[in-house]
Structure 1
Amino acid sequence: MRETDGPVQGNVIIFHGTGANPEVCWYPWLGRRLAERGYAVEIPHYPDLNEEPIATFLPKVLANHVFDERTVLVGHSGGAALLLAVLEHIDATVSQGVLVAGYSTQPNTRDEPVLLAGYDWAAIKAHVRDLYFINSRHDPYGCDDRQGRAMFERLGGTQIVRDDGHFGDYDQPYETFELLDRLIG
């Protein structure tokens, strides 16, 4: 999905979570809001996210998108973990990275092929000007405020802690996300 209305402010790529698609949660709502503000918005569908090993999955993602100083990256859950790998391996410095219910270590007992074995935190930090970590204290999958704090301590930025579960899931409708709309820009 690509959306834009009016002059382009930059591009935003919204990475959905594990087992999700571009039409669930707040993804289409945020895409419309940002397009109205002049961003070129991509909400790609990656059905193999967190199923295929990151070593073979990441090159496909990198080849599918353009990253530059006006790019904003948003990732939810498994998409946020993917965002870390993207930031480590791109050859540009993007404007913003927003990790919603993100994690950098295994958050539960489920296999997490989206995670790298280890992260080059300095490379990640060098490839993004402004980072936000949005996590809940009580996330049903373990993508909680402790995961956000661990990334914040390594990368800096801003950590936002809420009590909003997983910020959208099959049993948690979360059709809008005003905070994200305010943070991006």
Structure 2
Amino acid sequence: MKRVFVIHRWSGGSNDDWRPWLKVELEKRGYQVIVPEMPDTEVPNIDKWVNKLIEVVGLSDSQTYFVGHSIGCQAILRYLEKTNSIVGGAVFVSGWFNLNNLEDEEIREIAKPWIKTPIDLEKVKRVLPKSTLIISDNDPYGFFEENKNKFLEIGSKIVVLHNAGHITEDDGFISLPELINEF
């Protein structure tokens, strides 16, 4: 059975934004959907988030898929960098490699390791045969062109939403049909 791991955003949770809708929609299509609560979501840590993925995913294979939102995309990329198993694919929503407009110094310090610690994109590309980035042209945190180009480096298809912000519930997203189209 195809498994989909849905990884939430910083300060988010498994029941926020469009994740409950996505779980229902994918289960209707026969997928097993796992939406783990990631640790310390207010102060996300690379090692803790990647280790949580290692724990919940177990053995990955071509029937293993991922959906990430914001920092959840980073966690997935860093997990993929560590695995030798070729997975089925991934959809990255509001994915980023660099951030803009962070509120204060504390937030910038939390984000710094995620931004500054490099990801081996060649390694990711070897284990990720198919991926899509769904990104907004007015994401308040993203460097649109820079982040889009980084995802192009791993071969991601790019889907641009107009005026969609960070693609959260606060931006009006409790469903995301563009995401389902990628499965």
- Is TM-score (shorter-chain normalized) higher than 0.5? yes
| CA-to-aligned-CA distance 1:83-139 (integer Å, 9 cap, x gap) | 111111122111111111001234444331445611111110011110111111101
- Judge conservation of contact 1:149–1:159 (CA < 8 Å) in 2: no
What stretches of structure 2 of length at least 5 have no aligned partner? Answer: 103-107
2:161 paired residue number: 162
Equivalence for 2:84: 91
Q: Distance in 2 between matches of 1:141 and 1:172?
A: 13
- Equivalent runs, 1:16-165 vs 2, <5 Å: 16-49=8-41, 51-66=43-58, 67-109=60-102, 110=108, 111-112=110-111, 113-115=113-115, 117-142=117-142, 144-152=144-152, 154-163=153-162, 164-165=164-165
Write the distance in 1 (CA, Å) between the matches of 2:181 and 2:86: 21
Q: AA paired with 2:181?
A: R
State how far apart, in whole Å, the 1-side matches of 2:143 and 2:88 are.
24
Task: Could you tell me which runs of 5 or more consecutive residues in structure 1 were left unpaired when the two chains were aligned.
Answer: 1-7
Per-residue deviation, residues 8-35 of structure 1 (Å, max 9, x unmatched) = 3x00000010000111111010111111
Name the CA distance, whole Å, in 1 between partners of 2:176 and 2:94. 13
Aligned length: 174
Higher helix share: 2
Deviations 1:46-69 (A, max 9, x none): 142472431344223212213211
Is contact 2:4–2:31 with CA below 8 Å preserved after alignment?
A: yes
| Structure 1 CA distance for aligned equivalents of residues 172 and 158 of structure 2 | 23
Q: 1:91 to 1:108 in 2, by over 3 A?
A: farther
Distance between the aligned counterparts of 1:49 and 1:88, measured in 2? 22
- CA–CA separation in structure 2 for the residues paired with 1:174 and 1:89: 32
* SS in structure 1 at match of 2:67: strand
- Contact kept in structure 1, 2:70 and 2:95, CA below 8 Å: yes
Question: How far did 1:145 drift?
Answer: 4.6
Q: CA RMSD in A?
A: 1.9
Task: Please state which structure has a larger fraction of its residues in strand.
Answer: 1
